[in-house]
Amino acid sequence: MEMVVLENEPEVLMENISNKGNRDTSAAPGLKLYRCVAVSFGLLCIIQVALNISLRLSLDYEAGTKNLTEERDELKGKLNDYISGNEAKIKTLTGERDELKRRLDVLISGNEGKIKTLTGERDELKRRLDVLISGHGAEIKTLTGERGELRRRLDESQSQQNALIRERDELKRTLNDFDQLFQKGWEYFHSSFYYISSTEKTWQESRDDCVSRGANLMIIDSQEEQDFTRRFPKRMWIGLTDRAQEGTWRWVDGTLLQRSYWYSGEPNDEWGEEDCAEINYKDVENSWNDMPCDRQIHWICEKKMAP
């Protein structure tokens, strides 16, 4: 049974192939027609879409044009309403403008001769001024120079006046100082005021008193000042000491002693540490003496005044 099947199988296979070929040949014209119909339908769809888009754009354009037309007509209506509502005012303003123009024309025409005359007078004055300036150029230059010189001299006079005012004020202050010092018992000699105490103190206390008065113990730097001290019959401290360094005498302003008027044999430290100087011997020119600074005697202050 199986052998029969095997022997007939090639024939059956060939028959099937032959039948399939016949079916494919008969179906080919129908397939081509189907493809043509599909392509045509696609083109129709594309055409339909294009027509829809064109129609949509056309409708939008017409709607936009309609809206713009309506807005234009509305604005025209508003403008006409405004013009009709303000027509009287516009007419009045136009009439006023025309009236002003007319009056201006009348004014100009009525004063044309006067304007012409004034213009001529102005030109004549300019001409005469130019002639005057050109004819007196040298004189004007001279006057200008004189004016500058007068201003300079005026400035100098003002400066001198200011200097004199300052000097006057300074003299007033000086005179006021002099008056106050005289009233307090000071004596004036060679551009300085001198105060001679009525009480007795140590050398340092005496110096402190002078400083409180705006002065210091007397510094003797000339023969005239030395002679001046001999007018007062008192033993008096002066501003000379060697307390800082033994044997080195300095004035209270820090300067070294240059010219001295020591009494014969002085300074000698006779009573121990005699580090401060006094005026003692009035009957001789050299009247200085050294003494212990803690002794209490009179003193003489000196207040130098500006020359």
Is the CB of residue 140 less than 8 Å from the CB of residue 130?
A: no
Q: What is the rounded distance in angstroms from the CA atom of residue 53 to the CA atom of residue 160?
A: 105
How far is 240 from 218, CA to CA, in rounded Å? 8
Radius of gyration of the chain (CA): 67
What is the spatial distance between Cα 66 and Cα 227, in angstroms, rounded to a whole number?
130
Report which listed range, 61-70, 101-110, 238-247, is most confident. Answer: 238-247
Asked whether the predicted pLDDT for residue 266 surpasses 60, the reply is yes
Enumerate the H helices of the chain as residue ranges.
Answer: 2-85, 87-110, 112-135, 137-183, 203-212, 223-229
Integer Cα distance of 188 and 196 in angstroms: 12
Average pLDDT over the chain reads: 84
Bridge partners of 188, per DSSP, are 193
4 pLDDT more than 60 = no
Residue 202 to residue 218: CA distance in whole angstroms: 15
pLDDT over 70 (residue 3): no
Q: Which of 127, 152, 137, 182 is nearest to 305 (CA)?
A: 182
pTM for the structure as a whole? 0.47
Which residues contact residue 166 at a Cβ distance below 8 angstroms, ignoring those fewer than 6 apart? Answer: none
- Give me the pLDDT at residue 164, please: 84
Note the pLDDT tens digit of each residue in 196-215.
999 999 999 999 999 999 99
In tens, the pLDDT along 9-37 reads 445 444 554 454 554 445 566 777 777 78
CATH number assigned to the domain covering 187-304: 3.10.100.10
DSSP state for residue 263 in the 8-state scheme: P
Evaluate if residue 102 carries a pLDDT over 80. Answer: yes
pLDDT band at 174 (very low <50, low <70, confident <90, very high): low
pLDDT band at 227 (very low <50, low <70, confident <90, very high): very high
Q: What's the rounded Cα separation, in Å, for the pair 300 and 238? A: 6
Q: What is the dihedral of CA 247, 250, 255, 258, to 10 degrees?
A: -60
Q: What is the rounded average pLDDT of the residues 119-134? A: 85
Cα–Cα distance measured from residue 221 to residue 304, given in angstroms and rounded to the nearest whole number: 13
Q: Do residues 303 and 193 touch, judged by C-beta distance below 8 A?
A: yes
* Contact yes or no for 263/288 (Cβ under 8 A): yes
Rounded Cα distance between 252 and 193, Å, is: 17
Sign (positive or negative) of CA dihedral 209, 215, 220, 224: negative
d(CA 182, CA 196): 12
Q: Quick one: pLDDT at residue 241? A: 97
**Minimal CA–CA distance to 284: which of 264, 260, 267, 269?**
264
Instruction: Using pLDDT thresholds of 50, 70 and 90, give the confidence band for residue 228.
Output: very high
Measure the CA–CA gap between 197 and 278, rounded to whole angstroms.
Answer: 14
